[in-house]
Chain A
């Protein structure tokens, strides 16, 4: 699970870097609207998903270790 989450995080970092680069050269009101309507909710959802799945997968691993000891 860690490897797959790592892949997804890598893809997300690529998208984040692309957004940062774009945002630097895009400073009109449309950029602001895009950021608030799309980028921020997407970024929040991605952050929450990564935090939660990491925490849950650690819990799952602890349970599995307890069972297979």
Chain B
């Protein structure tokens, strides 16, 4: 069966992205932990080796004393020497046993490391492939404000740069206070300055990197979001995601706009459970990683937005 099975549940998209990231983190953490475990397992062995060496020196010194001593003192020396030799033999046996155990521990850790190194990259690639399929299906939703016949040169990235820079969206039309516009439950305005765009957008640098939805179309999707969706959100505070979705559906119906080109579809591009922008920040992280929505974030940055609506997992809080 192909990796990109079209029957896959779109609702699992966000969860798949989180699972993929969690697997990658586990892989890195497990490599560090197993290296530390090897080091710590070797420590008792080293401790035993030192004790054996000390006992060996003690036996050597007793043997040296015995060879230099008078005959009438031999009885006491011999007993002490015998006891020391017995203890040395006992310690050497323990050293051998410890060495064997440490070897077994290393073997277990190596086997686990081999499984990790073999399975996790393949598993995360598998999930990446699955996510690509889901992204491809979901990304069409941004193709809402694309109006045929606008004169936009969809094949020329240079022409696309002529798109007017959108201001950060607010209901009042001003360029700030974006976070005053309410978002549906579960979504937050995340300042773009809190996202690690330098590292997270390395594969999305120019309009040519927008393959599934072209750059101009995506910019227009953002404008639809700014001009039509945010004012509605602002004047309909407290409405559920479901109510808002129905409202945009009704708007489209009233204006005779098809779903394909309507506002509802743009709304779902940001607020569908399956394809929301999803950001993740660990306890020690200063910036968010992007689990889903790199292209939208790049387009928003280019459009001059300072924040973006997203779902987040923020352990720093």
Least CB distance from B292 to A in Å reads 14
Binds A, one of B17-25, B77-85, B225-233, B236-244: B17-25
Q: Cβ of B130 and Cβ of A30 under 8 Å apart?
A: yes
Dominant secondary structure at the B interface: helix
- Can you list, as one digit per residue, whether each of A55-69 has a CB less than 8 Å from chain B (1) or not (0)? 011011101101110
Chain A residues with Cβ below 8 Å from B66 are none
Which of B40-48, B136-144, B154-162 forms contacts with chain A? B40-48
Complex Cα–Cα for A36 and B29 (A): 24
Q: For the complex, is B253 an interface residue (Cβ under 8 Å from A)?
A: no
Assess whether B9 is interfacial by the CB under 8 Å rule. Answer: yes
B108 in contact with A46 (CB, 8 Å): no
Contact A30 B3 (CB under 8 A): yes
Which of A1, A38, A52 interacts with B122 by CB under 8 Å? A38
Q: How many residues of A contact B (CB 8 A)?
A: 43
On chain A, the residues within 8 Å of B30 by CB distance are 8, 11-12
A residues at B contact (CB < 8 Å):
1, 4-5, 7-8, 11-12, 14-15, 18-19, 21-22, 25-31, 33-34, 37-39, 41-42, 45-46, 48-49, 52-53, 56-57, 59-61, 63-64, 66-68
Q: Which residues of B contact A (CB under 8 A)?
A: 1, 3, 5, 7-9, 11-12, 15-16, 18-19, 22-23, 25-26, 29-30, 33-34, 36-37, 40-41, 44-45, 47-48, 51, 91, 94-95, 97-98, 101-102, 104-105, 108-109, 111-112, 115-116, 119-120, 122-123, 126-127, 130
Nearest first, the 8 A-B pairs at minimum CB distance are A38-B123, A26-B12, A49-B112, A45-B115, A8-B33, A22-B15, A64-B44, A18-B22
